[in-house]
Structures are given as structure tokens and as C-alpha cells.
Amino acid sequence: MKQENKFSTGRHQEQAAESQTAESLAAHTAAREFQSVEDLLRHDAAQTAVPPEIARRLSESIAQPAPPRRSWWRKLLG
């Protein structure tokens, strides 16, 4: 006597739907090749909006002068 798996048809339908979704997503997404990492970062920066809180903190940080560098012997001796 052969036992039937009640879930096999549902799993098959889910896999078919997932593959169809992946194919449609790939068709809508244009592939883009970048010459360098810098080009990729510039493209990403142009596409991504910076949250206002982070922009405010960044501008405050840039406005503050950098602390003076400690000499190597002060770092070594404490």
C-alpha cells in the first residue's frame, strides 16, 4: 500500500511560485557593471537618502576641529 504525502502538491506549487517570482524580479532589475568600487559607491550614494538625524550628526562632527595628534613617544610612555 502506497502512502501519499498530502504536502507534496503544496510544496510543488510554492516552488513554482518562487521561481516565477525570481524570474520576474530578474527581468525588472537591470544589471549594471561598475568599473571600480568607487563607481559602485558613488552610484549607491546617489540612490540612497541619508536620514536627517545622521546628516545633522555628521555636520556637527565635521564642524569640530580635530584633536591634536599625540607624538609617538607620548603614546609609548603614556
Domain residue limits, the chain: 35-62
Q: Which of 23-32, 36-45, 48-57 bottoms out in mean pLDDT, i.e. has the lowest?
A: 23-32
Please indicate, yes or no, whether the overall pTM of this predicted structure exceeds 0.85.
no
pLDDT at residue number 16: 62
Q: Residue 40: CB partners within 8 Å, gap ≥ 6?
A: 34
Greatest distance between any 2 Cα atoms in the chain: 85
**What does the pLDDT read at residue 13?**
65
What is the Cα–Cα distance from 70 to 61, expressed in whole angstroms? 20
Q: Return mean pLDDT, the chain.
A: 80
Residue with the bigger pLDDT between 37 and 78: it is 37
pLDDT confidence of residue 72: 92
